[in-house]
């Protein structure tokens, strides 16, 4: 048992580090300053960087060489991510496209689609988004309502998607629609990709409870999509959607970003409680710090167990599924507790006044999203119960009746 | 990255599981629960024959000279089976204390017997219903003789000798605390089993009235050794807790799949599914923390005190939660003597208190983190 790279891994890490040193932008590594960049500036830097990575094979390490990848292993991918993360480069713009959309096109598209779309996506020239969730269908994705109606060689799309990350700067999107409302819900779906600049597509940012706008609503008014852009057979949209969802990348790169237990301990040392002692000497504070630290360690070493499996060329075990269910709730709790320690002042959100640039307040305000996005806490626990523990699936009262006669559907 | 046990270590674990499934079923646990027997002697004999008692003892002292990683594998299976044997007292506590602080002569005197299972040892720390601290220690060691009462002492009525935490000075700090080895079968010792929540593991009251003993380690250095022993034992007991928690989850799952209510298996209700998912999550967090604890233990890493506390806190949380929610999953049947749920409920509590409380380990962990952040 150890935490060391194998000789092959160490050699790859060295190769990556050397390449990054020679090729990364000169001012990389100044994380905090880069976070100040606006999205447009970040996107420009990210696109240039993506092109460089793609040319060297690092943009998709696990893809076969014929698609511009490196033909590498899962652990090499993790090693690259770890090394690149040290440079705090603007990123994330291509994750959905290359992690979910393009793999779906690869699995269900025609050879000419692959020839046309894979390379520009890999090089960051074209960015893709995923048009799945709707106002009335989130956890129950198969309940979507956006209509697709056949019109000659085209389909006409009407409806609305929501929570679409990056829709405002994306060039293409993958889209799941309802093409037949008279059959049970999983059977009446059809899957497409489309040009986001098609007439009738309207993207609107969603103002979140945190005040920011990280996601969009996308409206479709008589949008025409050629039938040649259909992925999978008519009525097979659910099957195609599952390919997309199965390609969600292994979230084992490693936390980072938000304030963690170390900052919480520093805060507890710096605040004086009414008894004149630092907060960290208070037994209620100590008990909770211990709980959150231990949970954090548990997540970290669970990731290490998954990495070990990857390193051995195996698929990580089911333990990898606990990550978000634990971390999202934990984050909401400890950020709230940090404010509790600040007493009345905890409510202050001014980053010039609140400790650590209001990082805890900021984390708390965004925490509800973490418990919902990418699978709610409740759905994740269902997944653990069903796929890991083998417990029965939910009873689905709408499974075998026509979609348009299902409860709750107008 | 190779954060896993080796194939050989896993093989040892499989062998341990097979042996304990055959020889130490819950029937055996119930026999100890229902009778005056203090431990399952035939299981202990088998364990000794397999060499487990000598796992970390060097060959020069009659052991088999494997490491703590191997011992973690055995511990997990002992925990899974609830084996009613004095293993933790003799192997995690007495053996480790001797390995850490024993003189050459003491090692030669005690370790071969421990390895061969001919002698059972234990650590006598607590003095009543409060946490043991240098300030509260009263048992004295003067002129080579012990005086006072230790309670509860794990396997105190079973062990042949005990390492006793004693007061050797007039102060109230740790410099006044030492360790003494005493023969529990000799004069000046009286002992009696205590009525406890888990009769499948012995806890006793041990009183000394002039019992002859000798120092283990330096005078005034006892408290530091005790902390080291407890850190090591915390990791090993955490593996017992993980084994127990895993067994409980399997039981709860099995019952929920077969028990019908309202026309469906109760395992199809989200209230039960989420409960079992929570058990799984806590068990995995405990396992991951304890793997780190195992690494720190096997390499004697400077981070061992924090790693041990993390292992113990997570494993205590996991086993206690699993044991109580397993009864809840079983409903009324879970509250019967006939069903096995209570065996795990009892053992979970025993293990969660046997090396000091949940709260005290959390406090200790934060003290370690304070030191680290200050450095």
Quote the radius of gyration of chain B (alpha carbons, Å): 21
3-state percent helix, strand, coil for chain B, nearest multiple of 5: 60, 15, 25
A308 and A75 Cβ atoms separated by less than 8 Å: no
Residue range A218-244, pLDDT digits in tens: 999 999 999 999 999 999 999 999 988
**Distance to chain B for A107, nearest Cα, Å:** 32
Tokens of B353: 């208190």
Give the chain B residue nearest A265 (alpha carbons): B370
Using the beta-carbon criterion (under 8 Å), do B4 and A308 form an inter-chain contact?
Answer: yes
List chain A residues with CB under 8 Å of B294.
Answer: 1
* Residue A3 pLDDT grade (very low, low, confident, very high; cuts 50, 70, 90): very high
**Distance to chain A for B312, nearest Cα, Å:** 10
Q: Which of A305, A310, A394 is the closest to B288 by Cβ?
A: A305
Residue range A334-347, pLDDT digits in tens: 999 999 999 999 99
Average pLDDT over residues A147-171: 96
Q: Any chain B CB within 8 A of the CB of A284?
A: no
**Distance to chain A for B241, nearest Cα, Å:** 15
* Residue A32 pLDDT grade (very low, low, confident, very high; cuts 50, 70, 90): very low
Catalytic residue IDs of A: 248
CA distance B315 to B325: 15
User: How crowded is residue A253: how many other Cβ atoms within 10 Å of its Cβ?
Assistant: 16
pLDDT at A67 over 70: yes
Residue range A276-310, pLDDT digits in tens: 999 999 999 999 999 999 999 999 999 999 889 88
Give the chain A residue nearest B272 (alpha carbons): A385
Give the chain B residue nearest A384 (alpha carbons): B277
Using the beta-carbon criterion (under 8 Å), do B289 and A307 form an inter-chain contact?
Answer: no
- Which of A151-155, A404-408, B249-253 has the least mean pLDDT? A404-408
pTM of the model: 0.94
Tokens of A218: 């996308």
Q: Which of A9, A289, A305 is the closest to B3 by Cβ?
A: A305
In angstroms, the Cα distances linking A148 to A157, A177, A195 are: 5, 6, 16
Tokens of A52: 């460089």
pLDDT at A266 over 70: yes
Counting one residue from chain A and one from chain B, the pairs whose CB atoms sit within 8 A come to 164
Average predicted confidence (pLDDT) for chain A? 91
Q: Any chain B CB within 8 A of the CB of A382?
A: yes
The predicted structure's pLDDT at residue A255? 42
The predicted structure's pLDDT at residue A249? 44
CA distance A149 to A224: 10
With pLDDT > 70 as the criterion, what percentage of chain A qualifies?
Answer: 94
* Residue A368 pLDDT grade (very low, low, confident, very high; cuts 50, 70, 90): very high
B356 and B230 Cβ atoms separated by less than 8 Å: yes
What SS3 string covers A212-253? Answer: CCCEEEEEEEEEEEEHHHEECCCCCHHHHHHHHHHCCCCCCC
* Residue A315 pLDDT grade (very low, low, confident, very high; cuts 50, 70, 90): confident
Q: Which of A287, A302, A389 is the closest to B359 by Cβ?
A: A287
List chain A residues with CB under 8 Å of B284.
Answer: 298, 302, 319, 322
Q: At residue A348, what are phi and psi to the nearest 5 degrees?
A: -70, 125
pLDDT at A30 over 60: no
User: How crowded is residue A352: how many other Cβ atoms within 10 Å of its Cβ?
Assistant: 7
The predicted structure's pLDDT at residue A33? 42
Using the beta-carbon criterion (under 8 Å), do A262 and B373 form an inter-chain contact?
Answer: yes
ipTM: 0.94
- Closest-CA residue to B144 (of B85, B75, B215, B209): B215
Q: Which of A4, A265, A322 is the closest to B373 by Cβ?
A: A265
The predicted structure's pLDDT at residue A212? 83
B86 and B119 Cβ atoms separated by less than 8 Å: no
The total number of residues shown for chain B amounts to: 375
Average pLDDT over residues A255-261: 63
CA angle B132/B138/B140 to nearest 5° reads 125
Using the beta-carbon criterion (under 8 Å), do A298 and B289 form an inter-chain contact?
Answer: yes
The predicted structure's pLDDT at residue A271? 96
pLDDT at A205 over 90: yes
A289 Cβ contact list (under 8 Å, min separation 6): A261, A264, A265, A268, A280, B366, B369
**Distance to chain A for B257, nearest Cα, Å:** 7
Q: Which residue has the higher pLDDT, A37 or B295?
A: B295
Average pLDDT over residues A393-398: 90
The predicted structure's pLDDT at residue B375? 55
- Closest-CA residue to B146 (of B102, B104, B179): B179
CA distance A371 to A327: 9
Q: Any chain B CB within 8 A of the CB of A305?
A: yes
Q: For chain B, what is the largest distance between any 2 Cα atoms, rounded to a whole number of angstroms?
A: 73
Using the beta-carbon criterion (under 8 Å), do A305 and B4 form an inter-chain contact?
Answer: yes
**Residue of A74, A278, A297 for testing the chain B interface, max B β-carbons within 10 Å:** A297
**Distance to chain B for A202, nearest Cα, Å:** 39
The predicted structure's pLDDT at residue A214? 82
List chain A residues with CB under 8 Å of B281.
Answer: 322, 325-326, 384
Residues of chain B with pLDDT under 50: none
């Amino acid at each position: 048992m150890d935490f060391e790279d194998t000789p092959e891994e160490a050699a790859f890490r060295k190769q990556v580090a050397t390449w990054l040193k020679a090729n990364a932008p000169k001012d990389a590594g100044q994380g905090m300053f880069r976070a100040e960049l606006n999205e447009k500036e970040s996107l420009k830097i990210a696109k240039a960087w993506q092109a460089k990575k793609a040319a060297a094979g690092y943009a998709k390490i696990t893809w076969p060489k014929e698609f511009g990848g490196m033909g590498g292993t899962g652990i090499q991918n993790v090693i690259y991510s770890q090394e690149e993360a040290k440079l705090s480069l603007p990123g994330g713009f291509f994750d959905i496209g290359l992690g979910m959309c393009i793999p779906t096109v690869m699995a269900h598209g025609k050879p000419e689609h692959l020839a046309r779309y894979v390379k520009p996506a890999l090089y960051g020239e074209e960015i893709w988004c995923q048009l799945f969730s709707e106002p009335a269908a989130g956890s129950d994705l198969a309940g979507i309502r956006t209509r697709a109606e056949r019109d000659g060689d085209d389909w006409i799309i009407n409806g609305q998607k929501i929570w679409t990350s990056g829709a405002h700067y994306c060039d293409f999107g993958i889209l799941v629609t309802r093409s037949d409302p008279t059959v049970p819900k999983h059977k009446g779906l059809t899957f497409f990709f489309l040009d986001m600049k098609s007439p009738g597509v309207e993207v609107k940012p969603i103002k979140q409870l945190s005040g920011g706008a990280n996601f969009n609503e996308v409206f479709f008014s008589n949008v025409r999509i050629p039938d040649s852009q259909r992925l999978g057979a008519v009525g097979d949209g659910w099957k195609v959607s599952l390919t997309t969802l199965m390609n969600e990348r292994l979230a084992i790169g490693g936390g980072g970003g938000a304030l963690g237990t170390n900052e919480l301990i520093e805060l507890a040392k710096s605040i004086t409680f009414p008894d004149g002692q630092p907060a960290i000497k208070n037994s209620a504070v100590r008990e909770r710090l211990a709980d959150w630290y231990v949970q954090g360690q548990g997540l970290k070493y669970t990731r290490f167990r998954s990495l070990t499996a990857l390193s051995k060329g195996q698929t990580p075990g089911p333990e990898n599924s606990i990550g978000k269910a634990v971390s999202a709730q934990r984050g909401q709790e400890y950020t709230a507790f940090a404010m509790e320690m600040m007493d009345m002042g905890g409510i202050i959100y001014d980053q010039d006044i609140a400790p650590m640039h209001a990082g805890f307040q900021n984390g708390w305000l965004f925490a509800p999203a973490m418990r919902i996005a990418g699978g709610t806490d409740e759905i994740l626990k269902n997944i653990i119960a069903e796929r890991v523990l083998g417990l029965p699936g939910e009873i689905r009262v709408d499974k075998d009746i026509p979609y348009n006669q299902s409860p709750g559907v107008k | 990255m190779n954060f896993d046990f080796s194939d050989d270590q896993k093989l040892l674990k499989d062998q341990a599981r097979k042996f304990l499934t055959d020889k130490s079923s819950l029937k055996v646990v119930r026999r100890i629960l229902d009778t005056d027997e203090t431990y399952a002697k035939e299981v202990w004999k088998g364990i000794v024959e397999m060499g487990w008692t000598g796992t970390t003892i060097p060959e020069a002292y009659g052991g088999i000279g494997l490491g703590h990683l191997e011992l973690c594998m055995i511990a997990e299976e002992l925990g899974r089976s609830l084996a009613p044997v004095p293993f933790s007292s003799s192997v995690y506590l007495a053996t480790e204390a001797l390995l850490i602080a024993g003189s050459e002569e003491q090692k030669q005197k005690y370790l071969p017997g421990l390895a061969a299972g001919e002698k059972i040892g234990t650590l006598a720390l607590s003095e009543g219903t409060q946490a043991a601290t240098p300030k509260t220690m009263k048992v004295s060691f003067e002129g080579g003789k012990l005086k006072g009462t230790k309670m509860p002492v794990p396997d105190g009525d079973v062990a042949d000798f005990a390492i006793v935490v004693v007061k050797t000075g007039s102060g109230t700090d740790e410099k006044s605390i030492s360790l003494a080895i005493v023969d529990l079968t000799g004069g000046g010792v009286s002992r009696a089993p205590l009525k406890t929540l888990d009769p499948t593991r012995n806890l006793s009251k041990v009183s000394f009235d002039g019992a002859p003993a000798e120092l283990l380690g330096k005078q005034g250095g006892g408290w530091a050794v005790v902390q080291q022993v407890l850190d090591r034992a915390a990791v090993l007991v955490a593996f017992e807790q993980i084994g127990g928690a895993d067994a409980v989850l399997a039981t709860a799952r099995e019952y929920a799949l077969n028990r019908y209510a309202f026309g469906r298996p109760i395992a199809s209700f989200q209230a039960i599914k989420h409960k079992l998912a929570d058990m799984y999550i806590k068990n995995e967090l405990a396992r991951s923390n304890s793997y780190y604890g195992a690494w720190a233990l096997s390499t004697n890493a400077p981070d061992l005190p924090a790693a041990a506390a993390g292992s113990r806190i997570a494993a205590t949380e996991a086993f206690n939660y699993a044991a109580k929610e397993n009864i809840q999953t079983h409903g009324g049947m879970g509250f019967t003597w006939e069903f096995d749920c209570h065996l795990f409920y009892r053992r979970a509590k025993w293990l969660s208190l046997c090396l000091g409380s949940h709260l005290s380990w959390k406090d200790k962990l934060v003290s370690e983190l304070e030191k680290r952040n200050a450095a």
